Each structure stands twice: as C-alpha cells, then as structure tokens.
C-alpha cells in the first residue's frame, strides 16, 4: 500500500524545513496545518517517533552543524539559527551529537 499522509502533513513539514533559523510554536504549526495540535503531535509520534518541536529542533541543529562545518563560528551560528543563548545552543548540540560545537572547528576547544 502506498504511504498516504493527510493533506496538512506536507505543509507542516515544508514550513518546518524552511524555517530553520527561528522557533515555530505549536500554535503557529497548528494554524499553518489547519489541524488541532494534538492531531499533529499524535501523527508525529506515530510516524516520526518524536514530537514536532523536537523534530524542528533537530532540523535547527543539523543546519547549525552544517554552518559550523563550513567554517562559521558557533557563537554566531547559534544566534543565526534562532537560539536565544550560546549555552542553550551548546547544551542542545551536546544532547543531539554527543560533543560540543567547538569540536567541529578543528581545535577541539569551545570558544565561550
């Protein structure tokens, strides 16, 4: 059987993938999808095995990692990717990847 997703699914994913430099709220996502947030959460849990906000944060971090790997310093990257503090970015990065963003700059040291 083909994978058939609801109409709102594509809209929600598209917005989350495009908006990787700012936080999208659950209310905003529900408005974009024109579906109750509980439906969105349930669908994400079933098909993505995560919540929509955790999925979006993962996209943020993948984008941030890509920027750092291309040579951008991680403090600037943190703010450009929508994190409100360098420490919050660092903690989220460690949780996602198991090492600090400073490890990507080649010298193994964080610059905070």
In tens, the pLDDT along 49-107 reads 999 999 999 998 999 999 999 999 888 898 888 888 989 999 999 999 999 998 876 54
Q: What is the pLDDT of residue 22?
A: 87
Average confidence (pLDDT) over 11-32 = 92
Residue 108 neighbours by CB under 8 Å, 6+ apart: 102
pTM metric for this prediction:
0.82
**Residue 26 to residues 6, 20, 31, 99: CA-CA distances in angstroms?**
18, 15, 9, 29
């Amino acid at each position: 059987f083909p994978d058939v997703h609801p109409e709102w699914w594509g809209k929600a994913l598209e917005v989350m993938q495009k908006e990787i430099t700012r936080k999208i709220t659950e209310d905003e996502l529900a408005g974009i999808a024109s579906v109750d947030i509980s439906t969105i959460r349930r669908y994400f849990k079933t098909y993505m095995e995560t919540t929509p906000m955790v999925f979006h944060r993962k996209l943020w971090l993948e984008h941030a990692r890509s920027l750092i790997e291309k040579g951008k310093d991680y403090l600037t990257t943190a703010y450009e990717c929508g994190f409100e503090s360098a420490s919050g970015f660092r903690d989220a990065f460690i949780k996602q990847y198991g090492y600090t963003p400073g490890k990507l700059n080649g010298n193994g040291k964080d610059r905070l």
